[in-house]
Amino acid sequence: MINWLSKVYAQLQIKLLIIFRPTVLFDKINQLNWYKNTLHQWVDDQNFPANSKVLEVGCATGALTAYLAKTGCVPTGVDLSSDMIELAKHKNTDIEYLEADVMDLPFDANSFDVVLATSLINIVDKKTKAINELSRTCKKGGVITILVPSDSFGDKDLPPLQLSVGSTGFSAAAMKAWHENPPKMKTSDIECLFKQAGLKEITTRSYLQGMVISASAIKPF
């Protein structure tokens, strides 16, 4: 009974934060080990060269942007939410954060060695335009990479994943919400978007036992 009440409370907490305090929710999720470690592994797998200029689009409260700085990159974070950007600036005063829309990024063409986005392309309506904008701001020969929830991950896959990472309470509720709420994407759909944008050398990976997938590509010269 106590465990059931704890689960219900955690799920209610997530729902209330989504509605009333999304900035607090994103900040709390960024501190969860399973979420943080997944994003770090995704970045580490890319093996970006030191001093790479990296643009994170949809940076939320800036946790991954800060990690990119620790790996030796020179990151810039942008997000549509002014509240997210305000908190990101407060947490990391030595990193540039800007309020910006993925559909109209305030940067010249060919500005960054790497352009990346987490859980963003799956939620925007104009996916082709968003990918084209990521590509426009990336230098020729640079990397575009995204991470999104996977369409192949089902309800039956969630409990084993939660058990394997020791996710309980708020952490388990957050993982459940990430599985159930955002739109998901197929690997084939991402590859199609990348090809339409003229990107080459497309590679994909899965994380969290297939819950999320990444796709990376090169902007040709």
Indicate which CATH number applies to the domain containing 63: 3.40.50.150
Task: Supply the range of the domain harboring residue 102.
Answer: 2-218
Q: Alpha carbon of 25 to those of 35, 87, 101, 157, 174: distances in Å?
A: 13, 12, 21, 24, 9
What pTM was computed for the model?
0.92
- Give the mean pLDDT of the chain: 94
CA 45 to chain centroid: 15
Distance, C-alpha 197 to centroid of its chain: 20
Specify the range with the lowest mean pLDDT, choosing from 10-14, 76-80, 187-191: 10-14
pLDDT confidence of residue 2: 47
| pLDDT, mean of residues 180-193 | 96
The side-by-side arrangement of strands in the sheet containing 200-207 is 96-99, 74-79, 53-57, 112-118, 138-149, 212-218, 200-207
Give the pLDDT of residue 8.
66
Predicted pLDDT at 21: 84
Count how many domains the chain has. 1
Residue 10 identity (one-letter amino acid):
A
pLDDT in tens, 39-66: 999 999 999 999 999 999 999 999 999 9
Instruction: Extract the tokens encoding 135.
Output: 């590509």
Look at 8-12, 32-36, 110-114, 196-200 and tell me which has the smallest mean pLDDT: 8-12
Amino acid at 13: Q
